[in-house]
Amino acid sequence: MRVLITGGGTGGHINPALAIAQKVKSKDDSNIVLYVGTKTGMESELVPKEGFEFKSVTAKFLRRKISLENIKTLFASAKGVIEANKIIKEFKPDIVVGTGGYVCGPVVLAASLKKIPTMIHEQNVFPGVTNKLLAKVVDLIGISFNEARNYFPENIRHKLIMVGNPVRKDILVADRRKSRKFYNLKSDDILIYSFGGSGGQVSLNNAMLEVIKRYSGKINIKIIHVTGKRLYDSFNEELKQRNLDIKNNIEIKDYMYDAPTALSASDIVIGSAGAITIAEITAVGVPSILIPKTYTAENHQEYNARALEKKGAAKVILEKNLDGITLINSIEEIIENKNTLNTMALNSKKLGNTNVEDKIYEAMQNLVNSKAI
């Protein structure tokens, strides 16, 4: 099977695309993968490192309001369709799969116009603008939350298939006992792991100052807080200005290089509500306190977080309501009641998907076979 995969801009689009690409190659050595993105996106660096052939097309971000920039975007998209059409003609894919980001627009559209089987994958509850537009022309739409069905037009819901979000294999195979031993945790110790995404989250950092003050020196509680590289120095400076005495049960990091170990050892995860983060949390089965970032497109992180809250797997605090006391109260509601902690962990695990790539690959094969008849 010859598979053209496209998706870019952020890790939330690229990581699922790479997971699908890796599954395609692992299923059959004769399968061939081509990844199409933009020259300036993260994918241009990440994809070749993973050993996949990469080609680029012209694409620009489409704003949600009428503007002069959108006129430029239309011209760029038209050029991108022409470039994508040339790549498709040369590569001759059996299927084209898009995982979101504006680069998907011209590539998937070009494939659809040539009657090549097309599939898109939506990571969030609330679909991104590119996937909402492409949903009208593609053959199949993989969704990651059942709630996402409500945000696609009724006349195309027959295209929807529930698959979930791909999760990195190193997270799935992490051993909780070994991970807790790594952090010198006893069976009754509580590990709180907090992070605000790769770039950090100012509101979370501010709230965590109070959390650290509250729990510093507590024998049975360990906290690992990831500030984000750009915010690390200012966070530590704030700790000094507040004269906060950091004991050895508190660990402050600028970036978490070993997320699988930290996640699998955790009793509570505190963080933003990106789709891939949620997929990793639920795959492991950890209770969470989610703080959706307010500036995300269409406020999609809140939709993601509410989906977990509805199932009893997470507590949600909006950024506008977040402060140290509110966060401490949410933590204590969980850790001071073993039944609550265990129930939330169980509910989280129920939501986890560990065979997502297999579902996507099977859907791809079925689509290709049905079109060949």
All domains of the chain in start order, with CATH = 2-167+354-372 (3.40.50.2000), 170-351 (3.40.50.2000)
Task: Give residue for tokens 């609550």.
Answer: 340
Confidence of residue 290 (pLDDT cuts 50, 70, 90): very high
Residue 296: what pLDDT?
63
The average pLDDT across 83-112 equals 95
Residue 258: what pLDDT?
92
Is residue 314 scored above 60 in pLDDT? Answer: yes
Residue 67: what pLDDT?
43
**What's the pTM?**
0.80
Cα–Cα distance between 56 and 77 in angstroms, integer? Answer: 13
**Range in 8-12, 33-37, 139-143, 286-290 with the lowest mean pLDDT:** 8-12
Is residue 92 scored above 70 in pLDDT? Answer: yes
Give the annotated binding-site residues. Answer: 10-12, 124, 168, 198, 301
Cα–Cα distance between 142 and 163 in angstroms, integer? Answer: 6
Among 354, 373, 305, CA closest to 168 = 354
Cα–Cα distance between 200 and 272 in angstroms, integer? Answer: 9
Residue 164: what pLDDT?
92
Confidence of residue 68 (pLDDT cuts 50, 70, 90): very low
- Give me the helices (H) in the chain, please: 11-27, 43-49, 68-91, 104-113, 129-134, 169-172, 176-182, 202-215, 232-241, 259-265, 275-284, 300-310, 324-335, 338-351, 356-372
Cα–Cα distance between 351 and 193 in angstroms, integer? Answer: 20
Return the higher-pLDDT residue of 76 and 99.
99
Q: With pLDDT > 70 as the criterion, what percentage of the chain qualifies?
A: 94
For residue 119, give the 3-state DSSP assignment. strand
Are 118 and 26 in contact, with CB atoms under 8 Å apart? no
Give the annotated binding-site residues for UDP-N-acetyl-alpha-D-glucosamine. Answer: 10-12, 124, 168, 198, 301
Q: pLDDT tens digits for 29-66?
A: 999 999 999 998 889 998 999 999 999 998 765 544 54
Token couple for 88 = 């498709």
CA dihedral sign, ordered 121, 127, 128, 129: positive
Are 74 and 95 in contact, with CB atoms under 8 Å apart? no
The average pLDDT across 70-80 equals 60
Residue 149: what pLDDT?
94
Q: pLDDT tens digits for 235-246?
A: 999 999 999 888
Are 228 and 197 in contact, with CB atoms under 8 Å apart? yes
- List of long-range contacts for 37-45, beta carbons under 8 Å, 24+ apart: 37/6, 37/7, 37/8, 37/103, 38/8, 38/9, 38/103, 41/8, 41/9, 41/14, 41/101, 41/103, 42/8, 42/9, 42/10, 42/11, 42/14, 43/7, 43/8, 43/9, 43/14, 43/17, 43/103
Are 143 and 162 in contact, with CB atoms under 8 Å apart? yes
Task: Give residue for tokens 């006349």.
Answer: 155
The average pLDDT across 168-189 equals 93
Token couple for 40 = 């300036």
Q: What angle do CA 51, 366, 283 make, to 5 degrees?
A: 60
Among 78, 98, 77, CA closest to 140 = 98
Q: pLDDT tens digits for 340-368?
A: 999 999 999 999 887 899 999 999 999 99
Q: For all residues of the chain together, what is the average pLDDT? A: 91
Q: Which residues pair with 97 in a beta bridge?
A: 5, 119
The average pLDDT across 274-300 equals 87
Residue 108: what pLDDT?
95
Query: For residue 13, how many C-alpha atoms fall within 13 Å in the half-sphere facing its CB?
Result: 27
Beta strands 250-253; 95-98: pairing state: unpaired
The average pLDDT across 184-203 equals 90
Confidence of residue 71 (pLDDT cuts 50, 70, 90): very low
